[in-house]
Amino acid sequence: MARITAGVATSHVPAIGAALDNGKSGEPYWAPVFAGYEFSKKWISEQKPDVVILVYNDHATAFSLDMVPTFAIGCAEEFQPADEGWGPRPVPVVKGHPQLASHIAQSVIQDDFDLTIVNKMDVDHGLTVPLSLLFGQPEAWPCLVIPLAVNVVLYPPPSGRRCYELGRALRRAVESFDQELNVQVWGTGGMSHQLQGPRAGLINKAFDNDFLDRIVDSPEELSRVPHIDYVREAGSEGIELVMWLIMRGALNDDVTQRHRFYHVPASNTAVGHLVLENS
Ligand code: DHB
Ligand code: FE
CB atoms within 10 A of CB 138: 11
Whether ligand 1 lies within 6 angstroms of the CB of 128 is answered as no
Which residue has a Cα nearest atom 4 of ligand 1? 13
**pLDDT score, position 279:** 83
CA of 267 to the centre of ligand 1 (A): 7
With b for 16 or more beta-carbon neighbours within 10 A and e for fewer, the 199-218 pattern comes to eeebbbeebbeebbebbbee
State which of 264, 268, 271, 273 you would mutate to test the pocket of ligand 1, scoring each by most atoms of that ligand within 8 A of its C-beta. 268
Catalytic residue among 59, 193, 227, 273: 193
CB atoms within 10 A of CB 69: 16
Whether ligand 1 lies within 6 angstroms of the CB of 68 is answered as no
SS3 167: helix
Whether ligand 1 lies within 6 angstroms of the CB of 100 is answered as no
CA of 268 to the centre of ligand 1 (A): 6
Find, among 41, 274, 31, 35, the residue nearest to 135 by Cα: 41
**pLDDT score, position 247:** 99
Q: Are the beta carbons of 52 and 143 closer than 8 angstroms? A: yes
State which of 153, 237, 240, 264 you would mutate to test the pocket of ligand 1, scoring each by most atoms of that ligand within 8 A of its C-beta. 237
CA distance linking residue 178 with residue 226, whole number of Å: 37
What is the chain's pLDDT, residue by residue, as a tens digit (279 residues)? 999 999 999 999 999 999 999 999 999 999 999 999 999 999 999 999 999 999 999 999 999 999 999 999 999 999 999 999 999 999 999 999 999 999 999 999 999 999 999 999 999 999 999 999 999 999 999 999 999 999 999 999 999 999 999 999 999 999 999 999 999 999 999 999 999 999 999 999 999 999 999 999 999 999 999 999 999 999 999 999 999 999 999 999 999 999 999 999 999 999 999 999 998
Catalytic residue among 125, 227, 263, 273: 125
Active site residue 273: no
Active site residue 125: yes
Whole-prediction pTM value? 0.98
Which residue has a Cα nearest atom 1 of ligand 1? 13
CATH 1.20.58.100 is held by the domain 3-265: no
**Which atom of ligand 1 approaches the CA of 266 most closely?**
10
Strands 269-278 and 78-79 come out as unpaired
CB atoms within 10 A of CB 20: 20
**Which atom of ligand 1 approaches the CA of 15 most closely?**
11
Whether ligand 1 lies within 6 angstroms of the CB of 58 is answered as no
Ligand nearest to the CA of 57: 2
Which residue has a Cα nearest atom 9 of ligand 1? 268
Instruction: Give domain limits for the chain.
Output: 3-265
**pLDDT score, position 10:** 98
Q: Are the beta carbons of 24 and 136 closer than 8 angstroms? A: no
